[in-house]
Amino acid sequence: MRYYVTITILNIFPLFGLKLNIVTVTNERNDNWVVKQQQMNNSIEKITNFSDVMNEFESHENWSRLCNISHLRHSYFDIVCVIQGDSSIKLSEFRNFTDKVSSNIRFDVSVTCEDGIIHFPWPFRADKLNSIYIKDCRIKDYRADYKNELINSIPDTIKYLQMDNVIISQRVGDLYDSIPKANSPITRAAECGPENAFSIIQRGTNVTFEDLENQHLFDFSTALNQHNYYFNTQKRSCLYNNLEVYEMSGKKENLRKNDINKILYTDVAVSLKILNFSNNGMFDTYYKMQGWQRRFPVMEYIDFSKNNIQVLPMIPDYGLAVRKNKSVVTIDLRRNNITSLTKHMIDSFSTHEFVKVDISENPFVCDCGVLEVMAYLTSKTMPKVYDYLGSLECSKPSKFRGRKLLNMSATDLNCIKETIVNFQVVVFSIITITLIIITLLTIYFRNMIKVILFTRLNIKCPCELRSVTAVEKEYDAFIAYSEKDVEWVIHTALPKLESDDAGKACSLCLHHRDFIVGNTIADNIYNSVENSYHTILLITNDFLRSEWCMMEFRTALRKSLHDKGRHLIIVLKGNISLDNIDPDLKSCLNSQTYLKIGDVLFWDKLKYAISFRHNT
């Protein structure tokens, strides 16, 4: 068996940081052994009498001391050994024994160690050895016959080989010597192992070195290059015509791609039913399963369980070939590291009528995505072997451990749409809504804002730029008021408007102060209106009753109509009954906005209005 070469070398190559590429195929015949057998037939008289076989066994000192032989049935003998303490047995002593018995006899050997050591060179070949079972042993000389051509001449009679929990204990130098090189190949026996076997099982094999401190004495990097060269050029294909069970499990660390490639792609094993790479710490599915049904037409069970596989192997066409017996192949991926069932897997499984890919007992994560996938699963018609998918269980988060994926609900998983709060969306919405509100408020209060901006910050709205060509006038505004309101004008309005309070100071024209003595009142009114940018009408009930006031109003109105500008600024003071007022004034009040004393922004609005310069 070539696989143990790999085991050993992989075990040491972390020391050198090298990777091996091991593929082998050859054809070789055990010609030597026929010659040797004929010689032996001639020279030795074989023991055919069963009790003489037992007697002969007793003459071999260590085997007879540590093992019991019994004749069970027909020509089959059972040899059971228990190797304790510091005792040991050698395979070569057993070979000396079997050479002496007649060729129809077969031995089933079982060796269990309790601290003892066995000297058993791979592939444990001994004539007439039918089965070999080794348990808990430390094996020495394991690689001793790797290049010993004589081993090829020993008949390959092993039908069952099993090693449970053995430790291969070797010396660095022996490993070095046993590495195959171009001019120094290993034997077919060493590379293929028991080619006639029905089962080859290696469970939990470990490799240790007795003298690791000596590894610097050997040039392993060159040796391993030669080893690669050897396997790349000398392609040897082992022929396992009987092999039904091939297991290499429990290796934890060192089983890699190359360990499994040989049996999967290079060797011939048409009777293989069980292929077992369980519990080897395999990380991923290096292997592809296309065309496997042609290489392994009667395969029943491929065991990749208890590894660390996260991605399903590719099995696109495994189920497509029509299998003669229509039995279902199981590809066991239980207890790996697959965290989710996906729609893609479901689609793939739905085409695998004769392949059951078993992904149960994986650490499935139950999140919101599960709902969609399980709904998809329910909507599909799956082959019967996939019924098990309905009972897959959650593993994470821990509060859902043991719950069935199929029974999870949106409420359990907290997946109800409204409750999914996206922080960024929330912030964005708040900002947007705030901006909209600000915009609406700005539009609604735009006039007030304009006024405040102008009076308090002296910022003018560009759309209302005053005309620079306006004729220079003496006053900003002429105030027309009834004599009854003189107190208010002098003590309240003048201080406000002629100061810098709430905007720039205005220059005002008041008739009691600025009318020129000697002119008629009508002339004075006319001049005042002409020499002011605006006329402020302080309208009170008294104003409406005053003849002069109404004259001022009409003069200003005419001016306003003539100037097509905002000459008139109407200010209402007190409760004014608008019933019987002058029709011209009434239409002015209806068409023009007017200011009311008592308005919070009254002074601001007034100064703002005064600041306008209309074209003349």
Ligand X SMILES: *[C@@H]1O[C@H](CO)[C@@H](O)[C@H](O)[C@H]1NC(C)=O
CA-to-CA distance for 143 and 248, rounded, in angstroms?
19
Within 277-409, where are the H helices?
292-295, 343-350, 369-379
User: How far from the centroid of its chain's Cα atoms is residue 270's Cα?
Assistant: 39
Q: Which of 30, 32, 37, 507 binds ligand X (CB under 6 A)?
A: 37
Per CB under 6 A, does 39 bind ligand X? no
Per CB under 6 A, does 391 bind ligand X? no
Per CB under 6 A, does 140 bind ligand X? no
Least spacing, CB of residue 301 vs ligand X, in Å: 5
Q: Which of 38, 391, 432, 434 binds ligand X (CB under 6 A)?
A: 38
Q: Are 201 and 162 in contact (CB under 8 A)?
A: yes
Any residues with CB less than 8 A from the CB of 428 and at least 6 apart, and which?
none
Per CB under 6 A, does 337 bind ligand X? yes
Least spacing, CB of residue 37 vs ligand X, in Å: 4
CA-to-CA distance for 383 and 387, rounded, in angstroms?
8
Q: How many CB atoms lie within 10 A of CB 546?
A: 18
Restricting to residues 398-457, which ones interact with ligand X according to CB under 6 A? none
Nearer of residues 274 and 415 to ligand X, judged by Cβ: 274
Least spacing, CB of residue 397 vs ligand X, in Å: 15
Per CB under 6 A, does 308 bind ligand X? yes
Q: Are 582 and 553 in contact (CB under 8 A)?
A: yes
Q: Which stretch binds ligand X (CB under 6 A): 86-94, 179-187, 403-411, 514-522?
A: 86-94
Q: Are 506 and 498 in contact (CB under 8 A)?
A: yes
Nearer of residues 281 and 383 to ligand X, judged by Cβ: 281
Per CB under 6 A, does 283 bind ligand X? no
Q: DSSP labels for 298-331? A: T--EEE-TTS---SPPB-SSTTTS--TT-PPEEE
CA-to-CA distance for 476 and 499, rounded, in angstroms?
13
Per CB under 6 A, does 103 bind ligand X? yes
List the x/- string, 198-237, binding to ligand X by CB under 6 A: -----x----------------------------------
Q: Which stretch binds ligand X (CB under 6 A): 74-82, 319-327, 484-492, 596-604?
A: 74-82
Q: Which of 51, 409, 419, 591 binds ligand X (CB under 6 A)?
A: 51
Per CB under 6 A, does 61 bind ligand X? yes
Q: Which stretch binds ligand X (CB under 6 A): 49-57, 346-354, 381-389, 540-548?
A: 49-57
CA-to-CA distance for 20 and 26, rounded, in angstroms?
19
Q: Are 101 and 128 in contact (CB under 8 A)?
A: yes
Per CB under 6 A, does 102 bind ligand X? yes
Strand partners of residue 161: 132, 200
CA-to-CA distance for 530 and 532, rounded, in angstroms?
6
| Two tokens, residue 369 | 């995505």
Q: Which amino acid is at 102?
A: S
Nearer of residues 318 and 478 to ligand X, judged by Cβ: 318
What sign does the dihedral 265-269-274-277 (CA atoms) show?
negative
Per CB under 6 A, does 340 bind ligand X? no
Using CB under 6 A as the criterion, which residues of the chain lie in contact with ligand X when the complex forms? 34, 37-38, 41, 46, 49, 51-52, 61-62, 67-68, 80-82, 87-88, 90, 92-93, 96, 102-103, 203, 247, 249-250, 274, 276, 278-279, 301, 303, 308, 310, 337
